Amino acid sequence: MKLSDQMLFGHPILSSGSNDYHDSLFAAEFDINIEDPDWLIITATINLQCSDLDTLLEEGGAGCGFYVICRETYQNRLIEMTPGRASHKLNAHHFFGTIQLRPVVWSTESRTGWTSKYLHPEYGGRVDFPAAAILAVGDESRFSIDRERLRPFESIFALAANDGLQRGEMAVDPERDKITIFVHPETKDSVDSIRNDPRGRTVLLNALYLPALMQVLSEVAQRGNTFENKAWYRIFSAKCGASGINPESGELLQNAQRLLKYPFARIEDQKERLFS
């Protein structure tokens, strides 16, 4: 009962692999957007060219949509839509790895003696089918979901040494693929040595990334989307979207804290480990 191209049915099926219908077509194109780490947006364009099946859909005798299947997370859902183009927003945390998409048309009631002029002659122009039976099935599309969900916000930043700065001083350059935080070479060595420790990360989030992000938000507020061609901007704008933040609003402190999920709370959570 898995949907496959080799299924055999007692009634005609419109598909690229069968000759049950002539001069007809059922196909779909899918576009997947995973820019927002919380949402998987599937834009489906379903193309049904068979006026008799179209009429059946309009009468309510059939339904149309597509299956979304993700084996890694045990998802197998049917999303209903009429033929044409529509976007669907799914919780991205329910998906991982490969997503299979397959368009289908199914009967919503049983019919006896349903007629279509597009049926293969061997059916004699009229057929029977039960309720909830597949009437048309399109080719499967597969997408691989970005496996980078564990990437922390800091991954859009890079750290680099600059001996024009004094110890403890920092500067931010958003003109590179990653937002680059420059520090004195000795300071960079200290940062490198503490960044792998979870306690060190808590400190860096507050002392380094929070002010750097405020500087970036200030530049974005002044220069709008002139950063769109930078690699960091895609993740940055997705994270802003996910948190409902307008990066150009100029609310630097408030937005930076929200994007880093209120990093001072981590100091509070870990204060026993940090200051023991």
Partner 1 sequence: MGMMTRLPHLSESMLEQLRSEVERNIDRYRNNGFADLTREPGWSIDLDINFDPSGLEALDGSAKGAAGDLKNTRIVAKVLQDLSPSLANEERIWVRLSHVEGFRYCRDRWLSGLHDDQAVAKAVRLHFFARTQTGLRDDHAISRLWWNAYIAKHCYPHDADRGLELLLTRADVRSSLVERIWLTGRRRLATAVFRSMENDAFVLSSERSFREFMKAINLLGGGIVFEAMTDVEIDSFLARCSAHAEAQLADPLPSNA
**Interacting residues with partner 1 (CB under 8 A):** 1-3, 7-9, 13, 63, 69-78, 92-97, 104, 106-108, 131-134, 149-150, 152, 196-198, 201, 261, 266, 269-270
Nearest approach in angstroms of CB 19 to partner 1 is 17
Nearest approach in angstroms of CB 67 to partner 1 is 9
Nearest approach in angstroms of CB 91 to partner 1 is 8
C-alpha–C-alpha distance, residues 137 and 104, integer Å: 4
Nearest approach in angstroms of CB 76 to partner 1 is 3
Nearest approach in angstroms of CB 244 to partner 1 is 17
3-state secondary structure of 222: helix
3-state secondary structure of 209: helix
Residue 110 or 254: the one with the smaller Cβ distance to partner 1 is 110
C-alpha–C-alpha distance, residues 224 and 113, integer Å: 63
Chain centroid offset of residue 147 CA: 11
According to DSSP, the residues that pair with 183 across neighbouring strands are 161, 170
Residue 77 or 167: the one with the smaller Cβ distance to partner 1 is 77
Residue (of 220, 196, 94, 210) closest to 153 by Cα position:
210
Are 138 and 104 a contacting pair, CB within 8 Å?
Answer: yes
Residue 41 or 133: the one with the smaller Cβ distance to partner 1 is 133
Residue 76 or 225: the one with the smaller Cβ distance to partner 1 is 76
C-alpha–C-alpha distance, residues 187 and 110, integer Å: 75
Provide the residue type at 172 as one letter: V
Residue 8 or 121: the one with the smaller Cβ distance to partner 1 is 8
